[in-house]
C-alpha cells in the first residue's frame, strides 16, 4: 500500500519518491488515532446500550481466559439485524458488539458459538489489523464520502444517511486504495475460516457446526467499511465480497480433522 501511494504521488507531482514518503505519516497517524478512539471512546459511545446479561458475561470471561485475552467489553445494539462484530485497538483489548436480534433469535449455545467466533477474531489479531487499516484510509475517504452524501441527501432526503455514507466510504476505499482493499478482501475471507476453526475448538466442533446451520445471515467481525459493499453486490446469504458463504464455511469446517 505504501509503495502504491508513493508511486502515485511521484507520478502526479514533481516530488521525488523519497520526499513523498512523508505523506505516509498522516495515514499512519489516522490508523493509530482510530485505534485509540476504539480504546477510549467505545465505552462512551455504547454507554446507553442495553447491558449484556450475566450469563453472556460469564461466557465472555470463560472464553477470554481460555484464549489468554483481556475480557472484552460486550455491547448490545438496538439496531435491526442478525449480526455481530468485533473491534480491537491493536492491544487485544477488544469490544464485541451483538445486535439485539442475536439475543432474541438464537439459543444460548448458538450465541456462545457466535461470541467465540468474534473472540477468536480478536485473539488472532484480525480485528486489530482491520481497525488499523480502515483508520489509515479514513482521513482520505471519509471527508470525501461525507461531501458526496451530503450533496446527494440534499436532493433525495436524509432518511438513509448513515447507510449511504458507509457505502460511499466503501466505494471510495476501493478507488483510492485498490491494492489495499483487494488484499483486505482476500484476507478477510481467509480470516473467517481461521476464526471458525479456532471457535470450533473453543466450544466444540459439533456445537459450532450446529450454530452455523441455524444462522440465517452472515456475521461480520467488524463494521467493515469495505464490507458495506456486500449489500450492494450480493445477498447476505451468499457471503458477499468479504465473507465466504455459510455453506462454504460449514464445508471447510467439516473437512478439518476428517
Q: What is the pLDDT of residues 153-208, one digit of tens each?
A: 898 888 888 878 888 888 888 888 877 777 777 788 888 899 999 999 999 998 89
Inter-residue contact 223 to 98 (CB < 8 Å): no
pLDDT the model gives residue 82: 77
Q: Identify the pLDDT of residue 131.
A: 86
pLDDT in tens, 68-99: 999 999 999 887 777 888 999 888 889 999 98
Which of 110, 112, 118, 192 is flagged as catalytic?
Answer: 118
Which residues are bridge partners to 86 per DSSP?
96
How many Cβ atoms are within 10 Å of 7's Cβ, its own excluded? 12
- Quote the CA–CA distance of 223 and 42 in Å, as a whole number: 13
CA nearest to 118, candidates 77, 89, 93, 86: 86
Number of Cβ atoms within 10 Å of the Cβ of 139: 15
**In the Cβ-directed half-sphere of 119, how many Cα atoms lie within 13 Å?**
30
Tell me if 181 sits within 8 A of 237, measured CB to CB.
no
Q: Is the pLDDT of residue 224 over 50?
A: no
Closest of 231, 208, 232 to residue 218, by C-alpha: 231
Q: Are strands 73-77 and 95-99 parallel, antiparallel or unpaired?
A: parallel
118 is catalytic: yes
Q: Which domain holds residue 164?
A: 2-255
From the list 114, 103, 115, 86, the residue with the least C-alpha distance to 211 is 114
pTM to 2 decimal places:
0.78
Residue 52 backbone phi and psi in degrees, to 5: -70, 135
Contacts 24+ apart (CB under 8 A), 249-256: 249/192, 249/193, 249/196, 249/212, 250/209, 250/212, 250/213, 252/193, 252/196, 253/196, 253/197, 253/200, 253/205, 253/208, 253/209, 253/212, 254/209, 256/197, 256/200, 256/205
pLDDT value of position 96? 93
How many structural domains are present in the chain?
A: 1
Q: CB within 8 A of 245, min separation 6: which ones?
A: 218, 237, 238, 239
Q: What is the distance between the alpha carbons of residues 131 and 32, in angstroms, rounded to a whole number? A: 9
**Average pLDDT for residues 231-247, to the nearest whole number?**
54
Amino acid at each position: 500500500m505504501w509503495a502504491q501511494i508513493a508511486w502515485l504521488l511521484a507520478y502526479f507531482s514533481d516530488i521525488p519518491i523519497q520526499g513523498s514518503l512523508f505523506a505516509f505519516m498522516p495515514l499512519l497517524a489516522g490508523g493509530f488515532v482510530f485505534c485509540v478512539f476504539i480504546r477510549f471512546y467505545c465505552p462512551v459511545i455504547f454507554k446507553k446500550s442495553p447491558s449484556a446479561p450475566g450469563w453472556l458475561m460469564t461466557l465472555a470471561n470463560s472464553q477470554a481466559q481460555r484464549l489468554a485475552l483481556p475480557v472484552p467489553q460486550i455491547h448490545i445494539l438496538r439496531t435491526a439485524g442478525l449480526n455481530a462484530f468485533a473491534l480491537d485497538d491493536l492491544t487485544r483489548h477488544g469490544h464485541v458488539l451483538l445486535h439485539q436480534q442475536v439475543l432474541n433469535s438464537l439459543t444460548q449455545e448458538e450465541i456462545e458459538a457466535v461470541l467465540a467466533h468474534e473472540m477468536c477474531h480478536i485473539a488472532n489479531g484480525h480485528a486489530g489489523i482491520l481497525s488499523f487499516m480502515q483508520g489509515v484510509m479514513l482521513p482520505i475517504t471519509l471527508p470525501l464520502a461525507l461531501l458526496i452524501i451530503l450533496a446527494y441527501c440534499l436532493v433525495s432526503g436524509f432518511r438513509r444517511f448513515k447507510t449511504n455514507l458507509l457505502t460511499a466510504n466503501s466505494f471510495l476505499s476501493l478507488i483510492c486504495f485498490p491494492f489495499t482493499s483487494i488484499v483486505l478482501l482476500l484476507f478477510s475471507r481467509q480470516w473467517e475460516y481461521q476464526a471458525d476453526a479456532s471457535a470450533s475448538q473453543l466450544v466444540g466442533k459439533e456445537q459450532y457446526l450446529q450454530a452455523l446451520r441455524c444462522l440465517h445471515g452472515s456475521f461480520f467481525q467488524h463494521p467493515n467499511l469495505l464490507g458495506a459493499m456486500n449489500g450492494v453486490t450480493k445477498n447476505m446469504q451468499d457471503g458477499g465480497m468479504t465473507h465466504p458463504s455459510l455453506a462454504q464455511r460449514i464445508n471447510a469446517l467439516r473437512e478439518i480433522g476428517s
